[in-house]
Structure 1
Amino acid sequence: MASHPEAGQRVDTGHGADADLAVEIKAKTSITDTITQLTLVPADGRDLPAWTPGSHIDLVLGPDLVRQYSLCGKPADTRSWQVSVLHQPDGRGGSAHVHQELSEGERIAVRGPRNNFRLVDAPRYLFIAGGIGITPILPMIESVDQAGAEWSLTYGGRSRGNMAYAVELHQTHGDGVTLVPEDTHGRIDLAGLLTDVTPGTAVYVCGPEGLLCAVEALAAELGILDQIHVERFTPKEQTDAPVRDNFEVEFARSGVTISVGPDESILEAARAVGVLAPFSCSEGTCGTCETTIVSGRADHRDSVLSPAEREENSTLMICISRAACPKLTLDL
């Protein structure tokens, strides 16, 4: 599905793609009144790194302003990338910067691609999108449709006019796409959708946190949580206290052992003693700081790993996760 990378080209590995890449904003297009699409091309004229459906990139908008946005174009296109950004006036500043400060022809740095929302092989797919959550779903639909798999999309938004790509999706795929504008149709009938999910169906969900939490809660009741795939760009609310306030971390490759206190992260404590690791969001949502566990048990606090991956205990996000034992040993 993705093109084969040329020699020396960075590959979408899922994490660790932290080097800056200079791109130019070839086009800045208003998709709706509140959503802007950026078309990015490589500043050096070379092919862009390969990516797969579900990938996102970091836009480096300033020294302390790095934001993650899903790639919503075609993975086979090695000459341009597309991301679409919802303007959130009360957000943390990233979307406002994109909408108000960036201009066509400007150069910015990006990092990635990185994929925490990988498309698994399945005989059937159910896609559920809310608002701007449609963006990572677009290349997934193209991929499964080309592969001949059975799929359907239910796409909700506040109003039809604010649902990006709704017209194109409905014109191209017809009955495979159900549009649910809240102002005329109410909210998505999640119970109706999930109750009918058959074994083997992969369910992909992206959108506001309320939608994700509702899907996860209902899927848990129905016993199909292992079929649910979600992606978050805001941290999942933590309802339980950390297992330990204080613990030690040994960095196996660096030969350094540190103490981590109750008010600091492993990442912060590591950087304080000169042990550097890639990071971006510092909230446990982007996956940049994912680090291999050599020994010990993690207290996972991220919004990336699935329940099965947490139980596997092979990696953790050091920007937010902690230790569930007196000492962790990490591959740093």
Structure 2
Amino acid sequence: MAFPRNGLTSAAPADTRLKLKIARKWTSAEGIVAIDLTASDGAPLPAFTAGSHIDLFLPGGFTRQYSLRNDPRERHRYAIGVLREPGGRGGSAYVHDRLNVGDLIDTSRPRNAFELDETAPFSLLLAGGIGVTPILAMAYRLSSLGRDFEFHYCARSADRLAFRDEIEASAFAGKVRFHLDDGPEVQRLSLDRLLAYRPAGAHLYACGPSGFLDAVVSRAKPGWPADAVHREYFANAAPKAQSDQPFRITLASTGRSFDVASGRSIVEVLADNGIDIPVSCEQGICGTCVTRVVSGEPDHRDLVLTDRQRADHMTLCCSRALSAELILDL
């Protein structure tokens, strides 16, 4: 999956980036290209965990985040899938139309804001559209560990099912169910039936469009505890909470304070004062800028933190304050 970004500072300084080669590129489904990235010198790549993503630093200042879909045991490649977004700002179009096999591209090292609990006795994996990418990596990992799981993959039609051949040839093919909205293979997913019962200790993982994820979360609420439901959004389409009232931030380590005006983010204000906070999505969906709150009441506007994490953490890229001041662990 991909996260759009509007372009402040980079999440990965230039000296920590990887220079990778486009080793393979092909059309996996309607509107979706698959890309394999390898080290330009053929060396093993940094390890990653299921649910991880990488940043691609594209010409023109575009940075896009794409989930890794391959088996985390692999060290020779990072495999991603990219959906063409007609209404986007050009990042996906560049990947589709201008990246070619043999090209070199800068990327970040893998990061994970959608971690898999490998100890759970049962995992329920739900994917909508291009949201299959991190879910597929989770399936590979759970299969290699011998864990019990089910994998449900929803798409509009069969020609939009990315990586279908790969899934059907996998060791976990028997655990996968495809759910289609139209065509000769129509079989829609019933979330009410699927989520009516939670096996003991089970965890739920979902990735896809916001409407799909909202439906999953709402159907899961009656029987699934919040800390057992994990989701990753494409973009933060959540309505803005509360107001954009000005507030003050104070750094716990130095006591320095700064005013955050209406319409400005904490990250922007800190950058103006020489304090660089790593950011990536700038929408509260990747977790890069999560920071501990020492005191004060945040106005949470992210889609990455759990309720438990929100008790004393916040995303600095998009969240604001309900109190007059926030003291941050910086």
Fold similarity call, TM over 0.5: yes
Taking the aligned partners of 1:193 and 1:68, their CA distance within structure 2 comes to 30
Residue 8 (structure 2) aligns with: none
Cα shift at 1:239 = 5.3
User: Within 5 Å, which residues of 2 pair with 1:171-190?
Assistant: 171-172=169-170, 173-184=172-183, 185-190=186-191
Answer yes or no: is the 8 Å Cα contact 1:155–1:178 preserved in 2.
Answer: yes
Give the aligned partner of residue 196 of structure 1.
197
Q: Partners in 2 of 1:225 and 1:289 — Cα distance?
A: 22
Residues 241 and 300 of structure 2 are in contact (CA less than 8 Å); yes or no, is this contact kept in structure 1? no
Hey, what does 2:89 align to over in structure 1?
92
Check whether the contact 1:68–1:233 (CA below 8 A) recurs between aligned residues.
no
Q: Hey, what's the Cα distance between the residues in 2 that align with 1:329 and 1:45?
A: 46
Deviation digits for residues 201-256 of structure 1, max 9, x if unmatched? 111111111110001111124454432110112004125314x6121112344653
Map of 1:214-293 to 2, 5 A cutoff?
214-238=215-239, 240-242=241-243, 245-253=245-253, 256-293=256-293
Hey, what's the Cα distance between the residues in 1 that align with 2:321 and 2:207? 29
Give me the whole-angstrom Cα distance separating, in 1, the residues matched to 2:150 and 2:209: 20
Structure 1 residue 60, shift from structure 2 partner: 0.9
What do residues 182-213 of structure 1 show as CA deviations (whole Å, max 9, x unaligned)? Answer: 11425321111101322311111111111100
Q: 1: CA distance between counterparts of 2:252 and 2:240?
A: 32
Partners of 2:224 and 2:176 in 1: how far apart? Answer: 26
Structure 2 residue aligned with 1:39:
36
Q: Which amino acid aligns with 1:260?
A: V
Deviates more, 1:223-232 or 1:202-211: 223-232
Deviation at 1:124, TM superposition (A): 0.6
1:291 and 1:270 map into 2 onto residues whose CA distance is 13
CA, structure 1 residues 152+90, in 2 after alignment: closer, same or farther (shift >3 Å)? same
The 2-side partners of 1:240 and 1:323 are apart by 10
Q: CA RMSD in A?
A: 2.0
**TM-score scaled to structure 1, two decimals?**
0.88
In structure 2, C-alpha distance between the alignment counterparts of 1:259 and 1:105, rounded to whole Å: 48
| Residues 239/288 of structure 1: CA separation in 2 closer, same or farther (3 Å cut) | closer
Q: Which amino acid counterpart does residue 177 of structure 2 have in structure 1?
A: T
- Would you say how many aligned residue pairs link Structure 1 and Structure 2? 314
How far, CA to CA, are the matches of 1:253 and 1:44 in structure 2? Answer: 42
Q: Distance in 2 between the 1:92 and 1:187 partners?
A: 32
In the alignment, does 2:48 pair up with 1:51? yes
Q: Secondary structure at the match of 2:110?
A: strand
Contact 2:236–2:302 under 8 Å retained in 1:
yes
Would you say the 8 A contact 2:152–2:178 is kept in 1? yes
In structure 2, relative to structure 1, the CA distance for the partners of 1:167 and 1:106 (3 Å cut) is closer
Match of 1:117 in 2: 114
Percent sequence identity over aligned pairs: 38
Kept in 2: contact 1:236–1:303 (CA 8 A): no
Cα distance change of structure 1 residues 90 and 236 upon mapping to structure 2, 3 Å threshold: closer
1:291-315 residue CA offsets vs partner (Å, 9 max, x unmatched): 233333322211111112112x1x3
For 1:251 and 1:63, the matched residues in 2 are separated by 34
Q: Post-superposition shift, 1:92?
A: 2.7
**TM-score for both structures, normalised by structure 2:** 0.88
Q: Secondary structure at the match of 2:219?
A: helix
Query: In the TM superposition, what whole-angstrom CA distance separates every residue of 1:4-40 from its partner, at most 9, and x where no partner exists?
Result: xxxxxxxxxxxx7653222111111221231111111
Residue identity matched to 2:251: F
Deviation at 1:110, TM superposition (A): 0.9
Q: 1:157 aligned to 132, 150, 155, which one?
A: 155
Aligned counterparts of 2:26 and 2:42: Cα–Cα separation in 1: 22
Q: Summarize the alignment of residues 275-314 of structure 1 with structure 2, pairs less than 5 Å apart.
A: 275-311=275-311, 313=312
Question: Which range is displaced more, 199-208 or 42-51?
Answer: 42-51
CA distance in 2 between counterparts of 1:323 and 1:232 reads 23
Secondary structure at 2:159's aligned position in 1? helix
Q: Residue deviations 1:52-107, cap 9 Å, x none?
A: 00000111113531111100112222221111101122223221110011111111
Find the counterpart in structure 2 of residue 69 from structure 1. Answer: 66
Equivalent residue of 1:40, what SS?
strand
Residue identity opposite 1:278 in structure 2: P
- Match of 1:100, SS state, is helix
Whether the 8 Å CA contact 2:24–2:35 is kept in 1: the answer is yes
